[in-house]
Structure 1
Amino acid sequence: MSRGRPGTRHYTVVCSSCGTRYEDDGLILDCSRRHEPAFLRTEYADIPAGAGAGAGVSAASGADTGLFRHAPLLPVARTFPGVPGPVVHHAERLGRRIGLDRLWVAFNGYWPERGAQLPTCTFKDLEAYTVLGRLPAAPPVLVIPSAGNTAAAFAWAATRHQVPCLLVVPAPAMERMRFPAPLDPCVRIVVLDGAATYSDTIACADLLARLPGHHAEGGARNVGRRDGLGTVMLAAAEALGRLPETYVQAVGSGTGAIGAHEAARRVRGEGERLPRLLMCQNAPFAPLHEAWRATGQAPAHREHEPLARELTNRRPPFTVRGGVRDVLAESGGDVRCTDNEAALSALALFEEVEGIDIEPGAGVALAALAEAVVAGQVRRDELVLLNITGGGRARQARDLALVPARPWLRVPWPGREEGPRLVAEQVERRLTGTGTGAVVVGEGV
């Protein structure tokens, strides 16, 4: 695999609905034919058929360590040196505390003693570098909405490799935008001040992606994002020598769980069962849980109340072909919901037993898993992989001198009805130099 300049692509992009095949241009997000909403997916040329998960992953591994050791199973035209990957270990003591004999943890964050070195402390680093590695040689400006973690991952990856991007975040997200060095001016952060939520950033990004020279990153529709997150499953299969029986992850959109499922499908051996997906959400805002349980209720308008705000996606890809509903059904999976109190207890438990802090979303996953064990949904002897989607942020802050990012533009949020249009106007004026009434801070960072 080449480094630096994009090279030959070793995969094909295929529509999950009609089967139309595309040669990837690094930007395609949707099938061009008219049919139900459907994800594109990747097919790779060199996966050994029926070899088993452990053998398949080993055969796919390249000379790199970290994320890009799995480059033959990633939709990338180039790789980047020194990008860490997930770290998988047998969590015996933690398992005993929640009633499991075979609990394994995929830790995605900063934990030097375990060899975990993800630069922005969450598994969003995996998707950011994969999406950037998929891009064409002269990419447009990627427009990316985020509650914080995704923006941080793309900001740092784009800074390191000079890829222009426009990030849209609510004001609380800036707490997570701290880096080992200043960001490059090619990274522009638009902050929505006031009561804006993650869902509001998505609505704004939809309009901003229509600006000349800009392009939507695509979220769950981007095969680079899903396959990058799917390396958690590849790393686990390599460590275990097989696929886990159950895969547990906190979800907002469900993109990471879909990616894990797609990765498992690629590398499973003949007759090997796919891992059962246990997706976890944080009450009181749990639209995927409500949709899966078919309650008929509209998503609660309470996005500020969950502990794990990174999970508050109002428009998760539930009914899209190849989306959450399909992977839950194919894997025999389920969606569980837990509350803030249980998640806080789980955060404390993990740090007590394992010795490292974890993110609120990871606490939601651990709490939901513990509750599933008590309910008899997960057997004591089941081989379980728990995705700790973020951790070590407090440890990193103690170890490293981090530089706060500076917004390129701050816009007072006027409300959901007029907000996206007004934000788009302010950004366009800033880009074209025609002046703006918004509060502007800095030229880049």
Structure 2
Amino acid sequence: MTRPAYRLVCPLCEEWYEDDGLLLACSEPHADALLKTAYPARRETAGAGGLFRYRDWLPVRRVLPDAGAPAVLPAGELGRRLGLAGLWISFSGYWPEAGAGLATGTFKELEAHTVLGRLPDEPPVLVVASAGNTAAAFAAACSRYRVRCVLVVPAAALPRLRFAGPLDDCVRLIALDGGRYRDAIALAGALGSLPGYQAEGGVRNVARRDGLGTVLLAAYEAMGGMPGWYFQAVGSGAGALGVHEAALRLAEHEDAGPPPKIVMCQNLPYAPIHQRWTGHPASGSDGDLIAPELANANPPYATAGGVADCLAATGGDVLAVGNDDAARAVRLFEEVFGIDIEPSAGVALAALQQAAEAGRVPAGARILLNITGGGRARFAREHVVTPANPAVRLVVPRNRAFPSTEDVLRAIAMTERGDERVVTG
């Protein structure tokens, strides 16, 4: 393990920290803020491909072999159909012909590998909450590199958790029957606060944001410059924030020009960021969505360095589309490119299509559309896949708050024993 060549800084009080691989927040008493990474010099890229090509701008102590990277390509026919001549696509998933080899079909692999590369030697058990995609990425990465982790997901997400082989025993999965994403976040937060466990941190983990920021670094190389606009479906906003922070580093160290306008895309009727940005009241629940992973009820909206600051700094916007529009966009992408994409990526494409039709983006603008997941169905057709087997299944009660102390203790005991059964609440 090498000593990090970067430091962490608080955007509010400007306190500096040497990174221990686990730090998630500034210790000074002030308003909520997201820590940032500060790198000492301009970026140098390694000769090899993959995520760690950009290791000089990743908060990591170690390089993990075989980590994939997004593929960036001109949109071609899709751009012509949308009337956007300068449209490019960043595709994170399984699409071998395009150079994309992320077997779990999601750009969450970028953050998972970076988070593991940041950890100290002999870390505590990592606890991760997910609506499905993040769990798939962390399960695969932690299994490959034998990092102990507990993943908490709604039971409805289990069909997304299929892998090319069985997971290592170091990975423990808790499925919540009747639970939603917010319940997974609540239980993971309770577990992560206990001795011997460590909350992965989500958007507060600098490794997540910087790993996802490699989408912009790869696009900058492929496009020969900075895009003017960036569209992405978001839940917490970690990916969009990571792209913005990477763009600021490019502007500082390489005089790359202004960062792109960030357009965050959400799924109606439950779109927390869109509702706060526009002032529209909520009109549904996360159970009504084609892309429930976008339904993070507590994004870092007003946090210093968070969503509102990013949107204001870039002149960005938040758009929201319904399930039918997102489903049509999914079919459009597969019709044009012959590869399946995830519903959340369909949300971003549908939002871009509507923005183009309304004249909200110039027809000749250089636009980067982040297709955050795809190729999962194709991977399953071409490989023998193994479904994930939960170590624990908990029923989320509707007659009391979840999780109770008893829920947490049951989850710990059963995870450590490796039981597989349903515990009613």
Residue 374 of structure 1: how far off its partner (Å) = 1.1
Instruction: After superposing the two structures, state which structure 1 stretch, 171-180 or 269-278, moved more.
Output: 269-278
Alignment correspondent of 1:255: 238
Matched letter for residue 102 of structure 1: G
Q: Which structure 2 residues correspond to residues 9-28 of structure 1 after superposition, within 5 A?
A: 9-28=4-23
Q: Distance in 2 between matches of 1:262 and 1:417?
A: 40
| SS of 2:168 mapped into structure 1 | coil
Structure 2 vs 1, CA of residues 41 and 99 (structure 1 numbering), >3 Å: closer, same or farther?
same
Structure 2 counterparts to residues 15-414 of structure 1, below 5 A: 15-47=10-42, 59-194=43-178, 196-268=179-251, 269-270=254-255, 272-295=257-280, 297=281, 299-414=282-397
Task: Give, in angstroms, the shift of residue 309 of structure 1.
Answer: 1.2
* RMSD, matched Cα: 1.6
DSSP 3-state at the match of 1:304: helix
Task: Note closer, same or farther for the CA distance 1:436–1:360 as it changes in structure 2 (3 Å cut).
Answer: closer
Residue identity opposite 1:126 in structure 2: L
1:228 alignment partner AA: G
CA distance in 1, matches of 2:334, 2:119: 38
Does structure 1 conserve the Cα–Cα contact (< 8 Å) formed by 2:127 and 2:192? yes
SS in 2 for 1:349: helix
Q: 8 Å contact 1:426–1:436 — kept in the other structure? A: no
Q: Distance in 2 between matches of 1:94 and 1:212?
A: 51
Kindly indicate whether the alpha-carbon contact (under 8 Å) linking 2:392 and 2:420 is maintained by their aligned counterparts in 1: no
For 1:102 and 1:355, locate their aligned partners in 2 and report how far apart those are by CA, in whole Å.
21
> CA offset at residue 62 of structure 1?
1.3
Cα deviations across residues 61-110 of structure 1 (Å, max 9, x unaligned)? Answer: 11331100000010000011111100000011100111100110000000
Q: CA deviation at 1:379?
A: 0.6
Q: How many residue pairs get matched?
A: 420
* Alpha-carbon contact 2:391-2:420 (below 8 Å) kept: no
Deviation at 1:131, TM superposition (A): 0.2
Shift of 1:427: 1.2
The unaligned stretches of length 5 or more in structure 1 are: 1-5, 48-58, 441-445
Which letter does structure 2 place at the counterpart of 1:40? L
Separation in 1 of the partners of 2:387 and 2:99? 25
Give yes or no for contact 2:393–2:420 (8 Å, CA) kept in 1: no
1:426 aligned residue: 410
Task: State the Cα distance separating 1:417 from its structure 2 match.
Answer: 3.6
TM-score normalized with structure 2 length: 0.96
Given residue 170 of structure 1, which amino acid in structure 2 is its aligned partner? Answer: P
**1:437–1:113 Cα change, 3 Å:** closer
CA 1:159/1:72 → structure 2, altered by over 3 Å: closer, same or farther?
Answer: same
- Conserved 8 A contact 1:15-1:40: yes
In the other structure, the counterpart of 1:56 is: none
Q: How far apart are residue 405 of structure 1 and its match? A: 1.1
Amino acid at match of 1:83: A
- TM (normalized to structure 1)? 0.92
> Who is 2:2 aligned against?
7
Change (3 A) 1:271 1:362: closer
CA distance in 2, matches of 1:126, 1:436: 31
The whole-number CA distance in structure 1 between the counterparts of 2:375 and 2:420 is 39
Judge conservation of contact 1:426–1:438 (CA < 8 Å) in 2.
no
- Listed one character per residue, the Cα deviations across residues 332-386 of structure 1 (whole Å, up to 9, x for unaligned) are 0000011111111101110011111100000000000010011111010000000
1:12-33 CA deviation, whole Å, 9 max, x = no partner? 1001111100000000000000
The alpha-carbon deviation at position 419 of structure 1 amounts to 2.1
Aligned-partner Cα distance in 1 for 2:159–2:421 = 21
> How has the CA–CA distance of structure 1 residues 436 and 61 changed in structure 2, closer, same or farther, with 3 Å as cutoff?
closer
Q: Deviations over 1:32-65 (max 9, x none)?
A: 0000000000011121xxxxxxxxxxx5211331
Alpha-carbon deviation of 1:207? 0.7
CA contact under 8 A between 1:358 and 1:393: conserved in structure 2?
yes
1:271 Cα deviation from its structure 2 partner: 7.3
Cα distance in 1 for residues equivalent to 2:295 and 2:73:
29
Counterpart of 2:71 in structure 1: which amino acid? V
TM-fit CA distance, 1:387: 0.1
Alpha-carbon distance in structure 2 between the residues aligned to 1:166 and 1:16: 31
Structure 1 Cα separation of the partners of residues 86 and 298 of structure 2 = 34
Query: Deviation at 1:426?
Result: 1.1
**Displacement of 1:415 after TM fit?**
2.8
Given that residues 244 and 310 in structure 2 are in contact (C-alpha distance below 8 angstroms), is that contact kept between their aligned partners in structure 1?
yes
